[in-house]
Amino acid sequence: MIGALQHRGPDGIRIEEQAAAALAHARLSIIDLEGGWQPLHAAGATVIGNGEIYNYVELARDHDLGEVLATGSDFEPLLHLYAREGEAAFDRLRGMYALCLVGADGRTWLARDPFGIKPLYVMEHAGGLAFASEPRAFFAARAMQRSLDEGAARELLDLNYVLGQRTAFQGLRRLAPGEVAEVRDGRIVSGRRRPSLPFMGRVASEARRVGNSGSSSNLDALAPDFPAPAASPPAPPQKGRDGDLLAHLDAVLEDSVRVHQRSDVPYGLFLSGGIDSAAIATLMARLNSRPVTAFTCGFEAAGAADERTQAERVARALDLDWRETRFEEADFWRILPQVAWALDDPTADYATLPTYKLAEAAKGTLTVVLTGEGGDELFAGYGRYRRALRPAWLGGRPAEPRGARAEVLTAWRAAARPPLPGLTPLQQAQWADIATWLPNDLLLKLDRCLMAHGLEGRTPFLDPQVAAFAWPLPDWFKVRGGYGKWILRKWLERACPAAAPWAKKQGFTVPVDAWIAPRAEDIAGRIGQVEAVRRLVGEDEAAARMRTSGAQRWPLLFFAVWALIHLEEAAPADALSAIVGQI
C-alpha cells in the first residue's frame, strides 16, 4: 500500500507494526527535516498524517509544551494535547490534514481537516479496516476489486466530480471533511463532523438583519464563536467603518499567509491573473525579504484566455521572481493520460491540466506552493452567486449545476443543503459550493496534481480565521455594484493596484475542445469500445457526443482514459492511444 503512495512522500518510507495495527508513512519532508519522521511517538501515543498543522508553534507556546517536545514536528503537539484532553484536542488544530492517531488510552482515531483539503479513504473488510491517502493503495495490495460505482460515474459525467463521501469505486468511501471517527476492533464505531463553518447558524440571522441595508454598524456582533487554535487575529472593528473592516481583513489575511509559509524547504506560489492569487502574492511579498518565486501558466492557442500579461504586471509590481510556463496542444495530449493516472479519485475539471503543468514546472525549485483556492467560495466571487440574487425577470436563476440529469441534480441538492436554517440566499449558494464543488473538485485537483510531483499545495483562504472573518459578513460586503468579492477587491485596490481588482473578469478556460475537435471523428469510432463508457453512455451515444457536442467531449474523453487506467489497469500512454490513436 505505501509503495503505491511514494510519489506523495518521495523522501522515505517508515513502517511500524503494533498489536492491533500496521502503520506506514511516505514522507515529504517540510518541517523538522531530521526529527519529523513518522510514525511519530509522544505521550504514549502514535500519529501518522498527511498535511500540515500550521499553529503548532502556538499550541506549544499556549499549552506550555516546550519542555516536553522532543522534535520540531508540527504533529507532535497534538499527541501531548490528546494525552491531556482526549478527542477535544482535534478541535484545536489549524491546518490541512488527514491523520490516524493511536492514543495511550487504547483509542484509535481517523481525522480529516474541516474543509477537506487533504484526502482520506477508508474501507472495511473481513480482516478489519484499511485507510490511505489515495484509492490506488488498496488496489496495489489487492485489498479490493476495481468495481465501478455507476451512480458515482454518472455524477462525474454530469458535474465533473463525485458527490459526498462516495467514490467512483464500489466499497470505498472518503472520510468526510471535518470528520473525526473512532476505530475499534477494525470498525468505525462512532464519529462526528466538525463543520468547516461551525458558527454559521448563530451569525446567519444577524447577518440577514444587518444584511443588505449596507450598514456595518453591528459587524462587531457578528464576531464568530469559533474555537481559536492559534493567536487570535485582531478584534473586529467596533465602529464598523469600511476602513476599519479593511484593516481587520488585512490583519487576518496576513496572519493566514504568515502561518501558511511555515516551512524548512523552499516555498512560492502559483500566480494567475485573478485577484485571489494576487492577494496571496501581495502578502507573501510583504512578509519575505527576498523575491518570492511565482509560476504562471499561459495557453498557446487561438482564442484562449491567457493570464500571463496580467500576472506579469502583478509580479513586476511586487518584485516577484516570476516564471512562466506555456501550455500547448502537445502538452494536452502528453499530460491528459498522466492527469488521468494521478486522479484515481476522478474530477473531470479541465483546470487539472494547467495545474499539473505548473507543478511539473515548479518541481525542483519549490516544495511548498501557496494557491488561491477558497477565495471565491468565502468572499462570493462566482457569477452564479450574483445571478442567484437577481429576480427571475432580470435573468436570475438558482446557483445549481445546469444540464445534470434529474437524479444527479436531486443528489446535488441533498449534498448542498445547509445543515442549519437562517442563511441568506447568498450564503446558501456559498455553502453549496463549500460542501460539494470545493472539496470534491478544486481541492482534489490541487492535491493530486501537486502530490504527483512531490509538491505540497497550501490554501491560505481556507483557514479557520479567514473563514471566521468572511462568512458572517453581510451580503453587502461580498456582492456590490455587480462585483463579487467586493471587500477583497477594495482591499487589493489599496494593497496592490497593479492587480486591477475592478477590471472585467477575463474568465478561466482551457481550450480543450479546440484540441479535441480535429480528432473527434477518430475518437468517436473508438471511445464506445471502452467497457465503462459502453455501460454508462452506450456506444452510439458516445460516438454522437464526440462528433457533435463540444461541451461534452472533454469529460467523456477524460472518463474513457481514466476507466482504462483505473478499471482495466492499462498503462497511461496505452490508454490514450487506444482511444485517440497515434499522436
Q: Model's pTM, two decimal places? A: 0.93
**Model confidence pLDDT, tens digit, residues 388-424:** 888 888 888 889 999 999 999 999 999 999 988 889 9
Query: DSSP of 114-140, one letter per residue?
Result: TT--S--EEEEETTEEEEESSTHHHHH
**pLDDT computed for residue 203 by the predictor:** 42
pLDDT score, position 304? 72
What is the arithmetic mean of pLDDT over 436-451?
A: 98
Same domain, 472 and 535: no
Sign for the CA dihedral angle at 563, 435, 137, 408 comes to negative
For residue 208, pLDDT over 50 is answered with: no
Q: What is the mean pLDDT of residues 112-120?
A: 97
Say yes or no: 10 and 73 in one domain: yes
CB 15 within 8 A of CB 2: yes
Same domain, 266 and 352: yes
DSSP-based three-state secondary structure for 44: coil
Tell the burial category of 394 from Cβ atoms under 10 Å away from its Cβ (0-12, 13-18, 19+).
Answer: exposed
- Asked whether residue 504 is assigned to any structural domain, the reply reads no
Q: What is the pLDDT of residue 455?
A: 98
Which residues is 129 bridged to in the sheet?
Answer: 124
Among residues 158, 193, 228, the one where a domain terminates is 193
Instruction: Tell whether 443 and 533 lie within a shared domain.
Output: no
Q: How confident is the model at residue 194 (pLDDT cuts 50, 70, 90)?
A: confident
Interatomic CA distance for residues 443 and 456, integer angstroms: 12
In the chain, what are the helix, strand and coil shares in percent, each to the nearest 5?
45, 15, 40
Average pLDDT over residues 197-208: 46
Q: Which of 196-205, 323-332, 345-354, 515-524 has the least mean pLDDT?
A: 196-205
| pLDDT classification of 100: cutoffs 50, 70, 90 | very high
- One DSSP character per residue, 286-304 reads HH-SSPPEEEEEEE-STT-
pLDDT (tens digit per residue) in 43-90: 999 999 999 999 999 999 999 999 999 999 999 999 999 999 999 999
Q: Are residues 298 and 443 in the same domain?
A: yes
- Overall average pLDDT of the 365-381 stretch: 97
CATH number, residue 125? 3.60.20.10
Total of domains in the chain:
3
In a domain, 235, yes or no: yes
Domain boundary among 439, 469, 499: 499
* Digit-coded pLDDT (tens) for 459-514: 999 999 999 999 999 999 999 989 999 999 999 999 999 999 999 876 668 999 99
- Give yes or no for residue 212 having a pLDDT over 70: no
Tell me the average pLDDT of the chain: 91
Percent of the chain residues past pLDDT 70, beyond the cut: 91
Instruction: Give yes or no: residues 365 and 433 share one domain.
Output: yes
| Cβ atoms < 10 Å from Cβ of 440 | 29
18 occurs within a structural domain: yes
- Largest Cα separation within the chain, whole Å, is 69
Same domain, 147 and 176: yes
**188 & 209 share domain:** no
Residues found in the chain:
583
Q: Is the pLDDT of residue 206 over 70?
A: no
Domain boundary among 176, 193, 210: 193
Any idea which of 133-137, 236-240, 349-353, 452-456 has the lowest mean pLDDT? 236-240
Which of 192-201, 311-320, 345-354 is the least confident region? Answer: 192-201
Whether residue 162 sits in one domain with residue 236: no
Across 100-115, average pLDDT:
96
pLDDT at 507: 62
In this structure, are 320 and 274 located in the same domain? yes
Q: Which residues contact 438 (CB under 8 A, 6 or more apart)?
A: 115, 116, 373, 374, 377
Q: Are residues 305 and 454 in the same domain?
A: yes
Which tens digits make up the pLDDT trace of 287-304? 999 999 999 999 977 767
In eight-state DSSP terms, residue 264 is S
CB 352 within 8 A of CB 510: no
Tell whether 53 and 173 lie within a shared domain: yes
Domain boundaries, position 95: 2-193
Predicted local distance difference test score (pLDDT) of residue 551: 85
**506 found inside a domain:** no
Give domain status of residue 290, yes or no: yes
DSSP output for 165-206: TB-SBTT-EEPPTTEEEEEETTEEEEEEE--SSTTHHHHHHH
Radius of gyration of the chain (CA): 23
